[in-house]
Structure 1
Amino acid sequence: MIIALLNSSFCLAGNQKTIKFSAKSYQKDSITGSGITFTKINDQEVKNLALLGEVWGFLKYHHPEIASGNYNWDNELFKILEETKSASTNKERDQILLDWINSFGEIKKNKTNDTEYDAYLKPDHEWITTEISSAELQNKLLEIYENRISSSKMHYVDYASKNVKNPAFLNEEAYENIPYPETGIRLVGLFRYWNIIHYFYPYKDIIDKNWNSILSEYIPEFVETKNELEYEKVFLKLIAEVKDTHANLAGETNEISKELGTYFPPVHLRFINDQLVIDDIYESEKIDQLPVKVGDVITKINGKKISEIVEEKIPYSPASNQATRLRNISYLILRNTESSSNIQIKNENGLKEVELPLFKYDDLDFYLLFRQSSETKSYKILEDNIGYIDLGIIKQKEISDIKKELIDTKGIVVDIRNYPNDFVVYSLGRFLVPKRNSFVKFTTMNLNNPGEFNFDRSKKLGSNKKSAYQGKVVLLVDERTQSQAEFTAMGFQASPNTTVIGSTTAGADGNYSRIILPGGLATGISGIGVFYPDGSPTQRIGILPDIEITPSLEGIRNGKDELLEKAIEVINK
């Protein structure tokens, strides 16, 4: 699925040594199927399975024998699933679960620390008291929590980097040879993903829906899927609930790819002020052959209004905010199973219907976020002695030359409407930020207490040396500014001389953590929380511009870069 290419993995602290792991590294009692198939489910069964999913995940990350990997935990779920589902009362269900837990042996005393009183996020175990009727089962789970496993022995999760501390999810069976898993494995996927978000997602508190209710909502959907396409789409819909631009569905998304088609438009599209605009033609030699031109607005595709298509796609479009959701939709909206699409366009001549030819992916100079610059250097001096730096092609080795050549400019424009080619926030920041300031602080998980996230100390950036740049700095951002690009913008904002121009960014900051899902699928999350020093969030909000401006249709048609023009105006004031 082309949109999965947007998922980017980077390290906020630079190049760190990370743990290497395989999605299929756990082979103990490896299984190829669950042997469990049912396609209908009633309300009591949904309640039973929801509690089973919560208990299963709790034990996976807390029980000393289970969390250390002494059992194939997927397989143990299959053994108990149908019996738990079929319990006719809550009392019967709770007893089944209690007997199951007791079968794994006595809980040895293990000294654990309480949750930090000032933790940013605290473990949510409310379900133990609100969803369980049996006091004995409640007490058993609390006993396990109080004597939970220590982080050094955990089998299913570790720190991906000891410095940054985003989670690495380990030893999960991919079931990659079962593209449409039977019911038992589908539920393993749902339970796996739900518990990862519940215990290890740093932004769980800003998910729109109550995450505790999501499990019951999605159990019927996972049970009732009829084929591989429905399975892929229900997972995509679930992932979209998290509202994280880092999240999407990757891996063997064969059926979604088939439904989207193998033909792509020869034009790059962008939503600008809720209008779907052609802002580039991929192949210059095709321009004269096409019935459209740069600056045309597409109002209908195959007779359907763009607004209607967008509404249909939103539930299946994971993104932190609407600007980025529309960005992602624009990349797929004209993809088709046929070699052409009938579109209605609007331009200075009015409305017109045309047949737009589509092409195979390999026949196009296709790009998603931005067209790679052909410049050999990332920096130059514009008219009026104004410096310009393109982070999309910057190289670490250029930093010393940038300092020498741009130190005497009137101002510097830093273009971050891209993804930085190199990690330069600290090296370039020491030049652009003339006073050492705090610019960011992170929340990271406490692996000894799943569900707890704490702030660390603020990170600083800049230089107090006279050789630091003293002029105006203008950052250019928009919905293409994502992840490392947003982190870089935060760093350069630490300068009092910095102005941000553009529109809301992607709102997905923090190291990417990959999640393996059954059926050869995968997804990910922003693995650490990223905040300004005063605690203001960036996730879903993005980097807010000081001066908000988006390209105009006239500017696009005339090839103008109106954000750059505004930046030059600000510097010249």
Structure 2
Amino acid sequence: MKKIYCLVLLLSALNYRAAFAQIDTVANIPTEDKLYGLSKFWSEVNANFAYFDHAKVNWDSTYRAYIPKVIATKNTWEYYMLMQRFCALLKDGHTGVGFPEKLLTHKSRYKWIYIENFNKKFIITDIPVQYKDLVPLGSEVVSVNGVPAKEYAEKELIPYISSSTEHVLWNTAAAMMFYGTDSTKLFHLKLKTPQGKVIPYDYQFHTYGTKWVRRNGSTPWKMMDFKVMDGIGYVKLNTFGDEKIDSAFKSIVPQLYACKGVILDIRDNGGGDTGVGAEILKYFTDKKLLVGSAWKTRDNLSSFKAWGYYQSKDTSKKALTAWQKKALDSYKGNYWYQGDTMTFENDVKEKKITTPLIVLTGNNTASAAEDFLIILDGLRGRATTMGQRTFGSTGQPLPISLPGLSDGRICTKRDTYPDGRDFVGVGVIPDIEIARNPSDVIAGTDTVLQAALKEMNKKTK
């Protein structure tokens, strides 16, 4: 059983809230501390990172190139932003540098626009009520400060985002489009309305909040939500980070027996502990052993690395023995410890739920929630998955402390399907894909749930 962080919001939560704190851009840690932080992050990644083949980066030469850049930073904030760029080159959602929380001031600023990504187009999905006639919801951001929006994102946003998958990269870019330290800065936007009219709009942060067209009054977060809709049990599982959710689920099992089908919704589940999710799946199968992901981690064998150095000088082109290959792989940092495939004994004695099962997934289904889907994949035919492909990142992060920053993390564990197929860097693709579209989001229409209810009714006729 593994413990992992919930990683749906991979940068700072500050990037995603209506209220942002001001940033202190004067504070400056010593240059020696900055160089130590860069060097420590480089060395720990060099020894432990699991996805260099995804990153396709020369880590040594990149580190050398960043040394003068770190020396040139004028404050801790610049150092943090540079470290984000350095980290983003690894292209991994479970690897990141920590936000410098000590730089936050007590002053707040509020964003007055919500933008979401739809196929690399940035669409406005909420606006203050005073602008509802000026900026129709569903308008597309065409340009920012005279730069085409896609190009602006590629130059100003994406280089700072650590992501394993393209869809999460662009989702994050939309969410943090105006992220920065200068709350007085004006962003000159050009918008294309749903009717095709191009209009100007100047945007900046404000020192007070606003009333929104759509988002007024937040729904309290729940670990689990349950209701019965037309005889179908709908269970929303929002985390696997707390074992209490297993007890909460067990308490509704008697009601689920009476349902003609069950829908499990993990679209907003950012993960936690793989074993917590496995415990819930045990109620849906008689299979005695649940099989999860296969995994491996890099193994550093110092003596073999030393022997591998001499092996690398051998130009004879003779076939390598197993020992020689182990030495050479160790020298190259490519020798792996193969872990056991994760398995969970189905020790649930209660009657199992045998009615049809549908599981809803989305871009925010991450980490241990993706592990949940890998286990489900092994229960051939037990469930239908519907929605969007998942976050595409899991693993075991190694916490790392860096001067001036909160703890960062480095992904040390490489997970695959039991047969070796990758889902990190891809996302788990549902059986039935249902694309998000702006009009449904703006209208508050849950097309995925509607489609699932329709599909369930077909299965239970």
> What is the TM-score with the length of structure 1 in the denominator?
0.60
1:532 deviation in Å? 1.5
Aligned to 2:277: 425
Aligned to 1:459: 342
Distance 1:358 1:187 in 2: 33
Distance 1:493 1:386 in 2: 22
Distance 1:525 1:397 in 2: 32
1:239 deviation in Å? 0.4
Change (3 A) 1:344 1:192: same
Q: Which of residues 334, 358, 367 in structure 2 aligns to 1:483?
A: 367
Aligned pairs (5 A) from 1:125-524: 179-182=28-31, 184-252=32-100, 263-280=109-126, 286-287=128-129, 290=132, 291-312=134-155, 313-335=157-179, 337-338=183-184, 341-351=187-197, 352-356=199-203, 358-360=205-207, 378-383=225-230, 385-392=231-238, 395-419=245-269, 424-435=276-287, 436-444=289-297, 446=299, 452-461=335-344, 463=346, 467-495=351-379, 496-520=381-405, 522-524=407-409
Q: Gaps (5+ residues) in structure 1?
A: 8-176, 366-370
> Secondary structure in 1 aligned to 2:292?
strand
Distance 1:359 1:267 in 2: 11
1:233-256, Cα deviation, whole Å (9 max, x unpaired):
32111101111112333242778x
Aligned pairs (5 A) from 1:30-45: none
Amino acid paired to 2:238: G
Aligned to 1:3: 11
Distance 2:227 2:366 in 1: 24
Distance 2:431 2:84 in 1: 34
Is the Cα contact below 8 Å between 2:183 and 2:205 reproduced in 1?
no
1:225 deviation in Å? 4.0
Aligned to 2:448: 563
Aligned pairs (5 A) from 1:57-72: none
Larger radius of gyration: 1
Greater RCO (Cα-Cα under 8 Å, separation 6 or more) = 2
Amino acid paired to 1:378: D
1:389-414, Cα deviation, whole Å (9 max, x unpaired):
11127833322233211234333222
Is the Cα contact below 8 Å between 1:399 and 1:427 reproduced in 2?
no
Is the Cα contact below 8 Å between 2:292 and 2:374 reproduced in 1?
yes
1:446 deviation in Å? 4.6
Change (3 A) 1:513 1:310: same
Amino acid paired to 1:234: L
Change (3 A) 1:203 1:434: farther
> What is the TM-score with the length of structure 2 in the denominator?
0.73
1:262 deviation in Å? 5.9
Q: Gaps (5+ residues) in structure 2?
A: 1-8, 16-25, 213-217, 303-329
Is the Cα contact below 8 Å between 2:292 and 2:371 reproduced in 1?
no
Amino acid paired to 1:318: S
Change (3 A) 1:280 1:391: farther
> Which segment drifts farther, 350-359 or 508-517?
350-359
Change (3 A) 1:417 1:361: farther
Amino acid paired to 2:192: K
1:363-412, Cα deviation, whole Å (9 max, x unpaired):
799xxxxx7556796111122x2221111278333222332112343332
Change (3 A) 1:364 1:187: farther
Change (3 A) 1:349 1:405: same
Give the share of equivalent positions with the same residue, in percent: 23
Change (3 A) 1:466 1:225: closer
Amino acid paired to 1:414: L
1:519 deviation in Å? 3.4
1:323 deviation in Å? 1.1
Aligned to 1:105: none
Amino acid paired to 1:298: V
> What is the CA RMSD across the aligned residues, in angstroms?
3.7
